[in-house]
Amino acid sequence: MTKTDKDRKKLQEEAHTPNELMVQLQSKKSKINERFSKPMDMRILNRSLIWRISAANRRAQDSRRFSTKTQEIACPVCVTNNAEELAEISGFQYVSCSNCTHVYVKNIPPSAQLKAFYENQLEGVAMRPGEDIVQKELFLTRVKEISIPKVEYITKCIGHTGRWVDIGCGAGDLLYAARNLGWETTGYEIDPDEIHIAKDIFKLDIRNEYVKKDNATAVFKGAKVVSFFSVLEHLIDPCEILSLVSQYADKNVHIVLELPRHPSISAFTNMAFPDLVARHMLPPNHLSIFTDDSLKYMLMKTGFELTHIWYYGQDFYELIGTVAALAKYKDETVLNRMLDASGKFQKIIDQLKLNDEFIVIAKKKLFGDSSVMSG
């Protein structure tokens, strides 16, 4: 670890109260490059009405099982305990932090149970994590329709290629796209089925290990990008892994996060119809839903500065799919007409920042920069 990294670590460990950080966050006015909307037709991934109803039922079954033994936690971002109730979904309570606005599950399952869940070692799971991304026949479709546009955007924003490390890489579709676009790629994953697809079928460099303090230097060495796509929302402490990147990665590293977002039309739909949740506010998978403020708070706390943000989502699809499932609507012709218009409606939702996802790019702060937290 360099002297600069040690100085940053010391600074982050000093006694900064959540209120002090919020004051700094509110007073900070840095230019952030914003982008809106990303075309996507969920039907190409076989996300039909039948799939939605089945997924919602199976998700609820798993959630109720996990909710029988839980423990209450403080806000994962600012570690305060003052929060307002938002919604109860399958026995789990989503709350909104009164300090940093972060949305999180207040009562979480034991960490050992979650670990077994994500390692695909838990018996009797109705819908395992990543079930949709272990379908080999959809891998190249996901690469073309989902991953390539994201990698192209990130490469353009950063301005160069180099070593890309993807944490929680799943079946590796993002790494496959990045490799084909000139990046040197390495992924880290713990699900054996997803590792098999990424490593054995598509010949990607995938490591079956957790990223911890003991191996962080080797993991992040030389990385120009460290990415977490649909990862941080699953973690009990999302700040911990970002702090490791801040402390052990090179000074010119960028982190890229894809996260579920609040407020959104999807969240509104989930809260209105909690028995039909198939994505977004999805306990115990999604322990966190990030707001613009809680995102910035987390980045400031862990030593990063936000530079780019891409607002997009599947809110219109979520709303129409949920209402159709509730009404048991079976006229596929009319449903398809509405879904054909999804892109036009979603574009308006994205521009209003009522979308359910975002990609953010942040750079590592340099010690001595006025943007770094001060006591």
Chain segment 313-333, per-residue pLDDT in tens: 999 999 999 998 888 887 888
CA–CA dist 312, 271 (Å, integer): 20
CA gap 237, 337 in Å, rounded: 42
User: Is the distance from CB of 51 to CB of 365 less than 8 angstroms?
Assistant: no
Distance CA 303, CA 111 (A): 26
pLDDT at position 37, please? 97
> In order of start, what are the domains of the chain with their CATH numbers?
3-65+129-364 (3.40.50.150)
pLDDT at 46: 82
Q: For residue 369, what pLDDT is reported?
A: 43
Mean pLDDT of 29-55: 87
Give me the residues paired with residue 288 across strands. 104
pLDDT at 17: 65
Distance, in Å, from the CA atom of 370 to the CA atom of 210, rounded to the nearest integer, reads 34
- Report the candidate in 170, 79, 128, 78 with the shortest Cα–Cα distance to residue 284: 128
Pairing state between β 304-312 and 357-364: antiparallel
Instruction: Give the other-Cβ count within 10 Å of 251's Cβ.
Output: 13
Is 149 in contact with 173 (CB distance < 8 Å)? no
Average pLDDT over residues 102-106: 98
% pLDDT > 90, the chain: 72
**Span 181-220, pLDDT tens digits:** 999 999 999 999 899 999 999 999 999 999 999 999 999 9
Q: How confident is the model at residue 344 (pLDDT cuts 50, 70, 90)?
A: very high
Strand, helix or coil at 150? helix
Q: How confident is the model at residue 247 (pLDDT cuts 50, 70, 90)?
A: very high
**Separation of alpha carbons 143 and 103, rounded Å:** 30
What does the pLDDT read at residue 33?
Answer: 97
pTM score, whole prediction: 0.90
pLDDT in tens, 256-299: 999 999 999 999 999 999 999 999 999 999 999 999 999 999 99
SS3 string of 203-233? CCCEECCCCCCCCHHHHHCCEEEEEEECCHH
Are the C-beta atoms of 233 and 102 separated by less than 8 Å? no
